Amino acid sequence: MNADPTLRSAPVPGTPPAPVPGTPPAPVPGTPPAPAPGTPPASAPGSAPAPAPGSTPAPAPGSTPARAAHPVAAPAADPGTGVGGGPAGPGRGRRLRGASPLLWALPPVALLAVFFLYPLALVVRQSFQPDSGGTSLQPYADVFASPAFREALWTTVWLALASTAGCLVLGFLLALVIAFVPFPGAKGVARFIDVFLSFPSFLITLALLFVYGRTGLANGLWTGATGAADGPFDFLTTPWGVLLAEVTYFTPFVMRPLLAAFAQLDTAQLEAASSLGARAPRIVRQVILPEALPALAAGGSLVLVLCLNEFGIVLFTGAKGVTTLPMLVYGKAILESDYPGACVVAVVNVLISVGLYGLYRVVSRRAGA
């Protein structure tokens, strides 16, 4: 709410740099050059004949008539600009510049379509085609009716929610310490978090296996010390193991935006609060936390989405009883060859993720993060 958006370093994902629909500046035809800073001087709307008016994605209603008027305006505009060289020179540059946003947009859009949207569409289509043939909602009915799906859905949701809550609490506390408790190496820790973000998720799980696994470090110490056959730590293959791994892995995703937000916090506010008689807990609650809310919301919703879709951690803990939606997709598709069923689960997973992402955008925009 209060957060100055320019202060937050958290990048708003997904906002393209505003490709104005109906791109070419196209001011009033015939106006002499330089209508706005940044537009090329010779940007007179004229000549740019190339993009057929209809081919523009989302052609603004006004743009077509404007373009139709160009040829008329062109001769008037050219002498006005009077830039050296023949008319061909500026004309060519103009054409390139006018068309370039579209040209540049084409490859990524095509790539996206071929490698992402089309396969996704195939998945969706498959989900409506039961093995018995034809097109029906039967796969959905089957999947929704199966206890395995409902259990996986529930497991996925509560694991994701619990992990997110854990990450938020742990991340907030750790970020508080790193940002506000001066200790040697705080900077190094903050930098390590950046590195940590680049680790693959299964690496953390693997590390946990080394520590808490059946033959891991902790159990080894225990059996070595007591002579018992088995150690006391046997939670890694339970949902708690998954939870621990997810909290461990995703906490830095919360800390990163928090540290950025804390760095922007005016220390004078903390001092003012302190001189007014507030102790540390009150300062955290009433000064720091409200300032950190946008960052918490941003980090939390990001982690929630990531946890919903987490596959590597669940797979690596080898938790037999823990089946999440991604695991169910994997099981149905690879192990049971039930492609329609797998696709249904995948579609549900995608819908939840997209829904949450939408929520995330709304929240983060409202929060100004």
Return residues touching another protein (CB under 8 A): 1-2, 266, 268-269, 271-279, 282, 286-287, 290-291
CA distance 264 to 57: 40
Decide: residue 156, CB within 10 A, 0-12 exposed, 13-18 middle, 19+ buried.
Answer: buried
CB of 277 or CB of 321, closer to another protein: 277
Tell me the CA distances in angstroms from 51 to 22, 97, 220, 222, 247, one per residue in order: 11, 12, 70, 73, 51
C-alpha of 236 from chain center: 28
The helix/strand/coil state of 138 is helix
Specify whether the CB–CB gap between 346 and 340 falls below 8 A. Answer: no
CB of 206 or CB of 278, closer to another protein: 278
CB of 135 or CB of 267, closer to another protein: 267
Tell me the CA distances in angstroms from 89 to 84, 100, 317, one per residue in order: 9, 17, 65
Q: How far is the CB of 280 from another protein (least distance, A)?
A: 9
CB of 194 or CB of 271, closer to another protein: 271
Considering only CA atoms, which of 84, 99, 82, 86 is closest in space to residue 45?
99
Specify whether the CB–CB gap between 301 and 364 falls below 8 A. Answer: yes
Tell me the CA distances in angstroms from 3 to 7, 288, 324, 365, 366, one per residue in order: 8, 12, 36, 11, 10
Q: Positive or negative CA dihedral for 274, 276, 282, 284?
A: negative
- Extract the runs of DSSP E, i.e. beta strands, from 143-299: none
Angle between helices 339-367 and 147-180 (to 10 degrees): 30
Considering only CA atoms, which of 67, 65, 72 is closest in space to residue 95?
67
CB of 149 or CB of 262, closer to another protein: 262
Specify whether the CB–CB gap between 134 and 354 falls below 8 A. Answer: no
Q: How far is the CB of 7 from another protein (least distance, A)?
A: 11
Conformation bin of residue 21: beta by default, left when phi > 0, alpha when psi is -120 to 50: beta
Q: How far is the CB of 112 from another protein (least distance, A)?
A: 40
CB of 148 or CB of 293, closer to another protein: 293
- In one-letter notation, the amino acid at residue 75 is P
Q: How far is the CB of 269 from another protein (least distance, A)?
A: 5
CB of 25 or CB of 368, closer to another protein: 368
What phi and psi, each to the nearest 5 degrees, are found at residue 124?
-60, -45
CB of 223 or CB of 274, closer to another protein: 274
Q: How far is the CB of 182 from another protein (least distance, A)?
A: 12
CB of 180 or CB of 240, closer to another protein: 180
